[in-house]
Structure 1
Amino acid sequence: MHNNLIYLTDGRGKVDASKLSDAEWAPLVVDNRDSVRRRLVKCAWCWDEDRVTHWMKTYSRNGGGRVVSHQPGESADHPYQALESDEHKAYCDRVERVGVAEGYTAQRESRADDGRTRSDVLLVGARYLSYEMQHSPFKPGYGARERTRRSLAAKRDAVAWHTDSSVIADGARVAMLRSNQARRPQIENPRYEIRILGGYRRVLVWDCTSREGHRCPLGRYAGCGATHVDSQPSAISLDDFIRQAPAGLVQPVWPLDRLGFWTTAKDYQIWVEHFGEGRRSNGSGAAGRWRHSERQGNGHSRRTAAKNHAAVVPWQRDDESQVLTDVLNGLINLERSAMEEFAKLADLRGEAYDAQWKAWRTAAGAFQAALTECATHGDVDMSRPELEQAVKRAVRHSETEG
């Protein structure tokens, strides 16, 4: 049903027309027969967004479907939108409160320029993080994958889906955080810790021998001697996730895949070096997906190949202009400065920590802004994520050589 969110002026307030019982819907259709004169059903979307009153027509199709529509020429139909529950609002309030306290800009019900892409809370730090809380099952044609794809296309750096239902998490088909269930008073209590139970993992790297204690993905009892990468569940609180994600300290792996997950920026780098970067995985099973990309054509793992070959920055070619080279070298220097500022946080406490945190945030923001500008340069044939990974690999390589 389109236009499902309506205001009823008889005292019931904002309701979801698709959730009304047949005993409630039938008299509503009769009472609202002359909708403009009756003034009983008002479009909640138009009122909430623009403070414009549109009196809606309500009727039933022959097949039994419910219809809530605008008067001819007033406005286009709106896509289905779930009614915000008290818990949903409490979660969004908490995310906004934690994000603002950390120094981020928070925008509620933020919409992109296309008018169709909405974020429950948009957190703006070094990255644009779209936070989406899901309490009810997804509607066909308006699922998490479609909404995530549109959000990423609308220049959101990442979409953080969150639910407290294992059923919704399993059916989302995107990388989704699952937390323990909490009531509204618990969600509103800043001292109550909401733990992420699924969707956040740490990356493991091991040389496959019988001494390492890991089972060989190829089924060899004594190990195959290759370097393998896998992940296992890890712990983080929702508040810590919100503090770290807009700063790029945690990042999503395969955000458009059901088996996608979030991990630390360090583990994300390890994962990308072994499997490459992409929004969806290939293959049918977890072991099959990871194993086929773990080895290169020469039989070495990517980690071993990286040790055997000098790391070169892919854009540095002889025919490039000196101006572009200077810009890219500047990116490397900005990332190195941000890493140095972050390293200074290790032994600090109190006001000194807060001051250094702001210094690191400033340095990280400068790098991200320069990265966005450079990615639009006509001579750069890489996407922004690819360019970012190349710069960070160059920084790590220079530190290893030093």
Structure 2
Amino acid sequence: MHNNLIYLTDGRGKVDASKISDIEWARLIVNNRDSVRRQLVKCAWCWDEDHVTHWMKTYSRNSGGRVVSHQPGESADHPYQALESDEHKAYCDRVERVGTAEGYAAQRESRSDDGRTRSDVLLIGARHLSYEMQHSPFKPGYGARERTRRSLAAKRDAVAWHTDSSIIADGARVAMLRSNQARRPQIENPRYEVRILGGYRKVLVWDCTSREGHRCPLGRYAGCGATHVDSQPSAISLDDFIRRAPAGLVVPVWPLDRLGFWTTTQDYAIWVDHFGEASRASRGGAGSRRQSERQADGHSRRTAARDHTPGVPQQRADRFEVATGVPSELINLERSAMDEHARLAGLDGEAYDAQWKAWRMAAEEFHAAVTEYAAQSDVGMSRCEVEQAVKKAVRHPEPES
């Protein structure tokens, strides 16, 4: 249904004509028979955008479809647009406020040059980020994937879909951020934290052994020995996301895929280095991408706690640095991560959870250092080669001569 947003001058205000009940629609057709003289139905799009009044005709097709149309020669039809709720407006206000405070240029209801795409809020920093808030189910033929494709073609660097409904997020078929549900007073409160619960993930890299604490994607209980890359949900607030995304500090992985997600630029580099830049996970497979959701803690806590940490003397690390050119700092970071992992043995409950977080923080520090080192122009190895070399030096050290 085109031209679905209308203003009714009988006191009902702005409504979505496609959501009016059949009885009310039949009554509206009768009351608006002479639309220009009656002046009951006004085009909300023309009024909101240009403050121009166009009195709309209302009737039903023989097939039963509802029609709201301009008078001949007045204006072209407008595409379907969902009615903006109070929460929708509050979210857009918040995004505009946070983005402007961060120094980005913010444009509300921004349209592309051809008029075919619209952004609830367009944030312009190092990148053009189109923010879209979705409160209601997508209209057939006007879905998130089609709108994302058009927006990317209209020189938007990224489209950040956001919803507080798990049903809408699951049916969007694009990478979508899902937050906790909040009411208008909470959204308008700058001290209230809108937490992103889905669609933002952390990339993990591990050697597939029972000691690493991850389930093997191939189903081997003791691990297959290969290096795997996967992701698991991570935490970020909506405000922090808005501060980082226009600066290019967080980017989408497979934005046109329902299983796509947002992650940091460092994690994105790891992911692309492993899977490539395809729009789907054809190289890794859905199973390898989401296995960490099934059991992120590994085979079991008892098995994950089994570990042995062969020490690497500093002089051996120095010899490794001379032989390969890889700094001994990377060896020390990996050794620190393994020490934290070894401390999981014998723990349970809150103590285990606290130590598990300490281990993950140490592992993340190591992976960040590897990514930074591999990105240097004078390094002749890829990121994966650097990581493999460091782990081999730590876990399988050469015997003393």
Query: Same fold by TM (over 0.5)?
Result: yes
The verdict on how the C-alpha distance between 1:49 and 1:253 changes in structure 2, with shifts beyond 3 A counting, is same
> How far has the Cα of 1:394 moved from its partner?
11
Letter of the 1:232 partner, please give it.
Q
> How far has the Cα of 1:82 moved from its partner?
0.4
Q: 1: distance between equivalents of 2:44 and 2:68?
A: 11
> How far has the Cα of 1:143 moved from its partner?
0.5
Letter of the 2:207 partner, please give it.
D
Q: 2: distance between equivalents of 1:265 and 1:284?
A: 19
Query: Which residue in the other structure is 1:66 paired with?
Result: 66
Q: 1: distance between equivalents of 2:186 and 2:111?
A: 29
Contact 2:230/2:289, CA 8 A, preserved across alignment:
no
The verdict on how the C-alpha distance between 1:178 and 1:160 changes in structure 2, with shifts beyond 3 A counting, is same
TM-score between both structures, scaled by the size of structure 1: 0.72
Query: What SS class does the counterpart of residue 212 from structure 2 fall into?
Result: coil
Q: 1: distance between equivalents of 2:180 and 2:243?
A: 19
Identity %: 86
Query: Which residue in the other structure is 1:7 paired with?
Result: 7
> How far has the Cα of 1:22 moved from its partner?
2.1
Q: Which moved more, 1:130-139 or 1:281-290?
A: 281-290
Q: 2: distance between equivalents of 1:119 and 1:257?
A: 20
Query: Which residue in the other structure is 1:159 paired with?
Result: 159
> How far has the Cα of 1:133 moved from its partner?
0.3
Contact 1:106/1:121, CA 8 A, preserved across alignment:
yes
Contact 1:282/1:289, CA 8 A, preserved across alignment:
no
Query: Which residue in the other structure is 2:333 paired with?
Result: none
Could you give the per-residue CA deviations for residues 314-355 of structure 1, whole angstroms, max 9, x where no partner exists? xxxxxxxxxxxxxxxxxxxxxxxxxxxxxxxxxxxxxxxxxx
Q: How many residues align?
A: 303
The verdict on how the C-alpha distance between 1:42 and 1:394 changes in structure 2, with shifts beyond 3 A counting, is farther
> How far has the Cα of 1:26 moved from its partner?
1.5
Q: Which moved more, 1:5-14 or 1:248-257?
A: 5-14
Q: Does 1:396 align with 2:388?
A: no
Query: Which residue in the other structure is 1:249 paired with?
Result: 249
Contact 1:164/1:178, CA 8 A, preserved across alignment:
yes
Q: Does 1:57 align with 2:36?
A: no
> How far has the Cα of 1:81 moved from its partner?
0.3
Contact 2:200/2:236, CA 8 A, preserved across alignment:
yes
Letter of the 1:73 partner, please give it.
G
Query: Which residue in the other structure is 1:316 paired with?
Result: none
Could you give the per-residue CA deviations for residues 136-165 of structure 1, whole angstroms, max 9, x where no partner exists? 000000000000000000010000000000
Query: Which residue in the other structure is 1:145 paired with?
Result: 145
Query: Which residue in the other structure is 2:387 paired with?
Result: none
Q: 1: distance between equivalents of 2:256 and 2:243?
A: 23
Matches within 5 A, 1:318-333: none
Contact 1:120/1:131, CA 8 A, preserved across alignment:
yes
Q: 1: distance between equivalents of 2:116 and 2:372?
A: 36
Matches within 5 A, 1:41-190: 41-190=41-190
Q: 1: distance between equivalents of 2:135 and 2:210?
A: 45
The verdict on how the C-alpha distance between 1:186 and 1:290 changes in structure 2, with shifts beyond 3 A counting, is closer
Greater C-alpha radius of gyration: 2
Matches within 5 A, 1:233-248: 233-248=233-248
Unaligned runs of 5+ in 1: 292-391
Unaligned runs of 5+ in 2: 292-370, 382-401
Q: Does 1:212 align with 2:191?
A: no
Letter of the 1:234 partner, please give it.
S
Letter of the 1:207 partner, please give it.
D
TM-score between both structures, scaled by the size of structure 2: 0.72
Contact 1:7/1:44, CA 8 A, preserved across alignment:
yes
Contact 2:275/2:281, CA 8 A, preserved across alignment:
no
The verdict on how the C-alpha distance between 1:283 and 1:208 changes in structure 2, with shifts beyond 3 A counting, is closer
Query: Which residue in the other structure is 1:287 paired with?
Result: 287
Query: What SS class does the counterpart of residue 192 from structure 2 fall into?
Result: coil
